[in-house]
Amino acid sequence: MPSKKRIAVLTSGGDCPGLNAVIRAVTKKAIFEHGMEVIGVEDGYEGLIYNKFHKLEGLQVSGILTLGGTILGTSNTANPYRQAVKRGKEIEFQDVSKTAIANLKKMKIDCLICIGGDGTLSTANKLSRDGVPVVGIPKTIDNDIRHTEMTFGFSTAVEIVTEGIDRLHTTAQSHHRVMIMEVMGRRAGWIALYSGVAGGGDIILIPEIPYSMNWAVQKVKERNQSGKRFSIVVVAEGAIPKGGQMVVRKIVKESTDPVRLGGISFVLAAQIEKLTGIDARAVVMGHLQRGGSPNSFDRVLTTQLGTRAVDLIVKKEFGFMIGVKGNDFVNVPLDKVDQGPRLVPLNHPLIRSAKSIGTSFGDS
């Protein structure tokens, strides 16, 4: 009798709603339909490096469809090709990919499913080039992975932020304030754009459109003069003023992406209050956007992505990420994904629609 196929699955990078749902889909289909063994890699790529694996059973993934986070754990610093190692007080980066690949071989893994964002999939592409059979599943609340129109986690994050903006409206109107909601989005403004429109934001600031403080202030003054004595500003953490820089909160040296943003909402609040005389307050959504149960859209999407990943393994079609295009799924070569983030186009229909109803993007 031929031996069972054995596949491994890992979740890497920032957590988001839907990770457990996709683990469930992969595991259930692999076991129930194809009789495979499924191995969970603990804590993302850290598990590959330090040989942390455990078997996943159907019973173990039962009931996790609605559960936030990831039962496998994750890491946003581990990288087999650039792993941080402390030498006294100094941090060195080492290529430990041969160790990670050797650990996979010892476990007799026939394919590795990598669930994550652009950093995770970039590493997956390198593993694929080094001979590891890999299938990628796109995950990020930022929705900024190339060659897919949608990533799971985005829809839920937008709903969470929109509810937050709805709640800001009541206090903004009651106290005649400018309320500034800071959301995630270092390089791409998809969350700010969609939640800002859904929540009725008066000003939406995204990284793709450098903003003018003068235009933002003018919008607030115009609203106040017309009797609308409050304003809602939705700003992505990576938004940049014309000729200025992103607001950096801290540097994490051991990370492959060391810059941590945060705080632009407080900068904006101070500037708007000074230039308009209107009370301005800042709210940072932060990791609330990543937490909790996935919405119905993300539950459906993750189930489809997870089962399709198993289909690719059965067909031995490795080195691909499963992308969303229209109402269908497409196989995208991982080297095409590894080309930087998918930004909001300046001519995006939603930007045009928002501007047509008076929303300012800080550029007019």
Give the length of the chain.
364
Reading the block at residue 31, the tokens are 């076991």
User: What pLDDT does 77 receive?
Assistant: 87
> If you average pLDDT over every residue of the chain, what do you get?
93
CATH 3.40.50.460 domain span(s) along the chain: 158-290+345-356
Q: Which CATH architecture best describes the domain 6-152+292-337?
A: 3-Layer(aba) Sandwich (3.40)
Reading the block at residue 194, the tokens are 């969609």
Q: What is the mean pLDDT of the segment spanning 14-41?
A: 96
**CA–CA separation, 49 vs 27, rounded Å?**
22
**CA–CA separation, 236 vs 259, rounded Å?**
15
Asked whether the predicted pLDDT for residue 258 surpasses 80, the reply is no
Its CATH class, for the domain covering 158-290+345-356, is: alpha beta
Phi/psi region, residue 173 (left: phi>0; alpha: psi -120 to 50; beta: rest), is alpha
The helix/strand/coil state of 103 is helix
Q: Would you give the end-to-end CA distance of the chain in angstroms?
A: 70
Which tens digits make up the pLDDT trace of 262-308?
889 999 999 999 999 999 999 999 889 999 999 999 999 999 999 99
**Beta-strand runs (E) in 149-258:** 178-183, 203-205, 231-236, 248-251
Compute the radius of gyration of the chain from its Cα atoms: 22
Q: What is the mean pLDDT of the segment spanning 342-348?
A: 96
**CA–CA separation, 109 vs 15, rounded Å?**
24
Reading the block at residue 85, the tokens are 């190692």
More reliable by pLDDT, 127 or 327: 127
Nearest Cα residue to 182 out of 107, 237, 253: 237
Q: Is 142 a catalytic residue?
A: yes
- Alpha helical stretches, state H, the chain: 19-32, 45-49, 58-61, 97-106, 118-129, 154-175, 190-198, 213-225, 264-276, 296-314, 334-337, 349-356
CATH 3.40.50.450 domain span(s) along the chain: 6-152+292-337
User: What pLDDT does 254 receive?
Assistant: 67
Share of the chain above pLDDT 70, in %: 97
Amino acid at 250: K
**CA–CA separation, 147 vs 170, rounded Å?**
39
With contact defined as beta carbons under 8 Å apart, do 181 and 234 qualify?
yes
pTM over 0.85: yes
**CA–CA separation, 235 vs 186, rounded Å?**
11
Q: What is the mean pLDDT of the segment spanning 180-206?
A: 96
Reading the block at residue 48, the tokens are 């590959």
Which of the following is catalytic: 43, 118, 142, 202? 142
Q: What is the mean pLDDT of the segment spanning 91-107?
A: 94
Which tens digits make up the pLDDT trace of 48-95?
999 999 999 999 999 999 999 999 999 988 999 999 888 878 888 899
Amino acid at 191: I
User: What pLDDT does 87 receive?
Assistant: 81
Using alpha carbons only, what angle is made at residue 165 by residues 160 and 166, rounded to the nearest 5 degrees?
95
**CA–CA separation, 364 vs 360, rounded Å?**
6
**CA–CA separation, 68 vs 290, rounded Å?**
9
**CA–CA separation, 19 vs 36, rounded Å?**
20
